[in-house]
Amino acid sequence: MLVDTLGNRHLYTSLHPRLARALAHLAATDFGKLEAGSYPLEGEDIFVIVNDYETKPRDTEPFEVHRKYIDVQYVVSGEEEFGYLPLAQQTPSKPYFEKHDYAEFDYESNRSDASYIKLKAGMFALFFPGDIHMPGTGDTPTSVRKVVIKVRV
């Protein structure tokens, strides 16, 4: 997992060939003008999801993990908190769902091992396969516009 601002995106472009394209797209696109929805960049290898939502309390949300994709999560407006849980001996509460590339881990079983970080407008987080994370939370409901770019590894 990595957290930084879009201004430092150049530091991460060598981590994966498709990641450079995803980060360049974030910098070049005005996401305030796009409708919420899914947009292909390179078919199933790189695609963009624009979301508008209200943050939710931690205890109502599961953690998730991916196997095939890096999540590039970028906050356009608002702010949210996300949980991070290093993959160790956790057992998923729901098995891996291949079609949507995720498994879920319940909050109660893992809350004592998790760390939480605020992600503010202009910041992004990179979650690699194996990084268990819980996006979209906050102490009080807050409106957020977030872009998630899925990058196949």
Residue 86 scores a pLDDT above 80: no
Q: What is residue 2's three-state secondary structure? A: strand
- How high is the pLDDT of residue 29? 97
Tens digits of per-residue pLDDT, 29-76?
Answer: 999 999 999 999 999 999 999 999 999 999 999 999 999 999 999 999
- How high is the pLDDT of residue 44? 95
- How high is the pLDDT of residue 113? 84
Residue 11's φ and ψ, nearest 5 degrees, are -70, -15
Determine which helix (DSSP H) or strand (DSSP E) holds 111, and give its type and residue range: none
Integer-rounded Cα Rg, in Å, for the chain is: 15
pTM score of the predicted model: 0.93
Tens digits of per-residue pLDDT, 2-15?
Answer: 999 999 999 999 99
Q: In whole angstroms, give the CA distance from residue 116 to residue 7.
A: 22
Please count the other Cβ atoms lying within 10 Å of the Cβ belonging to residue 31: 16
**CB-facing half-sphere around the CA of 64: CA atoms within 13 A:** 17
Tens digits of per-residue pLDDT, 95-151?
Answer: 889 989 999 988 877 778 889 999 999 999 999 998 999 999 999 999 999 999 999
C-alpha pair distances (Å), 3 with each of 7, 25, 124, 130, 144: 12, 18, 6, 16, 17
Domain map of the chain by residue range?
2-152
Question: Tell me: domain 2-152, CATH 2.60.120.370, correct?
Answer: yes
